[in-house]
Amino acid sequence: MASFVFRRLIAAVIVLLAATFLMYMLVALSGDPLKELRESSAPNKLELMASLSQRLNLDVPPFFRYFLWLGGVGQCFVGACDFGVNVQGLPVVVLLQQAMGSTLQLVTGAQIIAIIVGLIVGITTALRQYSGYDYTITFASFLFFSLPIFWVAVLLKQYIAIGFNNWLADPLIGIPVMIGMSIVSGLLWMSLLGGAARRRWITLGVATASTLALLAYFEMSDWFTTPSVGIVGVSVTAIAAALGVTAVSVGLKDKNALRGALTTAALGIALYYPMTYFVFRSMSLPLFFALALGAVVAGGAIGYFLGGRDRWQSARTSAIVAVIIGAVIAIDGHLLYWNDYINSSRVNGRPVATIGSVTPNLGGNFWIQGIDTFTHLLLPTIAIILISFASLTRYTRASMLEVMNQDYIRTARSKGLTQRTVVVRHALRNALIPIATVIALDIGALIGGAVITESVFGWSGMGRLFQNGIDHVDPNPVMAFFVVTGLLAVIFNLLADLLYASLDPRIRVS
């Protein structure tokens, strides 16, 4: 393993050196950084040109200038990175640190959600091949895959931001809309669950009635004005998570795992009021992460001690349940301060932001700042998710269909194994091997594509840094962006190779 990693790292260094040299030369030879100063009428034009030439080493040929830049980057190995300065004389390493935090905040959440949703939808469409659900998802996937992200962003601004903000002034759903949404929900669940004709009609009726009842409750309680999950919502979610995660992870016949999951759910419900009225009032970011870690540890410990012979499977199941319950309680904590946020003078009743990453001079506690971050992340995150979701869904579906037709799957079924065991333990693991490659490539491409997303939504991240460098023919910011994206591509491809061996023991990294 160590020799494999070492060989891959040596190859990656060679590739990065060649790529950075080519990129540096292309940027340096693409224009004249002094063009604006040459055309200006400033009385001290010559002094400004001399100063800029000295800062960017423009008196050195681009070929040798690259090695000066490379020498500064090489200092990262001793903890003193030097990416040079930009045309304004600001250290690029400082600008890069600020931009990386903003871009990673945008991309990380979007990519995690896209991976989870894409895998789930891809797997379910493969299991429900040629159903109405499969055709609908296939149509939506091809549609989102073919749409340019800047056009998707404009539509999101118009209908999710402007339209939704206008609707919040008088949030009425209306009976026709409730009926239409309920029927669509019923058809979706009917197609997803499938089964015999009687089961499908029962699913349609139950899902339609449930959705209609939920929307009617939102309408009558004026939920969109004062939103809240509440103890009822947390309880329902906790029990549903315990049953659902156990069913997928180990099966409901595993009573020990089910007992651990339900115990975790009961503990989460019992902690709702103490968390809401005591802990949440003094919440901070370190405390939030400590509580999140504590939820995972507590859920895992409960599952482990109640798990019987399969302790680790039970621990994993209970830990996932604890994460879901903790997330729902955290969402409720944010919703408690929704009215304070939406009625603040800086927001003025229009919470969904169309530009920027924060509301200037907003202030407020941890929860208000969290809501503000969410409302600014919402539109760019949805835009990125839609594009990534489309490709991941198609790749996952194709991989699952190929695996489900293999001889060992037919053998597993002939031995009398349940559908859950065949899919989760036999098919899914092998189907994830090509998906690991797609995800690794998608992460690097996603950060590179953030240039367009950040430009549309006015997000000050690595895309803005790259664009400014291109506009001013300044190689240093461009190279900083290129090095980060290149390193991420190399790292995630290496992780994908190592994941192959973990998913399939027949694969050896040697």
Give the model's pLDDT for residue 171: 87
Q: How many other CB atoms sit within 10 Å of the CB of residue 281? A: 12
Give the model's pLDDT for residue 448: 66
| Spatial separation of the C-alpha atoms in residues 65 and 475, rounded to whole Å | 10
Q: How many CA atoms lie within 13 A of 182 on its CB side?
A: 19
Q: How many other CB atoms sit within 10 Å of the CB of residue 193? A: 16
Structure tokens at 476: 């240093």
pLDDT tens per residue, range 409-459? 889 888 888 888 888 888 888 888 888 888 887 777 777 666 778 888 888
Burial (CB count within 10 angstroms: exposed 0-12, middle 13-18, buried 19+), residue 371: buried
Give the model's pLDDT for residue 287: 94
Closest CA to 21 of 53, 62, 82: 62
- Tell how many helices (H) and how many strands (E) occur in the chain: 22, 0
Q: How many other CB atoms sit within 10 Å of the CB of residue 162? A: 14
Longest dimension (CA), the chain: 88
| Spatial separation of the C-alpha atoms in residues 406 and 398, rounded to whole Å | 13
For 256, residues 6+ apart whose C-beta sits below 8 A from its C-beta are 306, 307, 308, 309, 310, 314
Burial (CB count within 10 angstroms: exposed 0-12, middle 13-18, buried 19+), residue 57: middle
Low-confidence ranges of the chain (pLDDT < 50): none
CA-based Rg of the chain, rounded to a whole angstrom? 27
Closest CA to 123 of 435, 478, 441: 435
Give the model's pLDDT for residue 510: 55
Q: How many other CB atoms sit within 10 Å of the CB of residue 343? A: 11
| Spatial separation of the C-alpha atoms in residues 457 and 436, rounded to whole Å | 30
Give the model's pLDDT for residue 295: 94
Angle between helix 428-457 and 366-404 (nearest 10): 140
Residue type, 131: S
Measured CA distances, 110 to 243, 331, 334, 353, 382 (Å)? 27, 17, 20, 17, 7
Give the model's pLDDT for residue 275: 92
Give the model's pLDDT for residue 453: 80
| Spatial separation of the C-alpha atoms in residues 277 and 294, rounded to whole Å | 19
Give the model's pLDDT for residue 507: 66
Give the model's pLDDT for residue 1: 67
Q: How many other CB atoms sit within 10 Å of the CB of residue 309? A: 8
Closest CA to 383 of 104, 167, 148, 164: 148
| Spatial separation of the C-alpha atoms in residues 505 and 507, rounded to whole Å | 5
Burial (CB count within 10 angstroms: exposed 0-12, middle 13-18, buried 19+), residue 255: exposed
Residue type, 192: L
| Spatial separation of the C-alpha atoms in residues 246 and 438, rounded to whole Å | 28
Q: Contact 348/93 with Cβ under 8 angstroms?
A: no
Structure tokens at 153: 């962003």
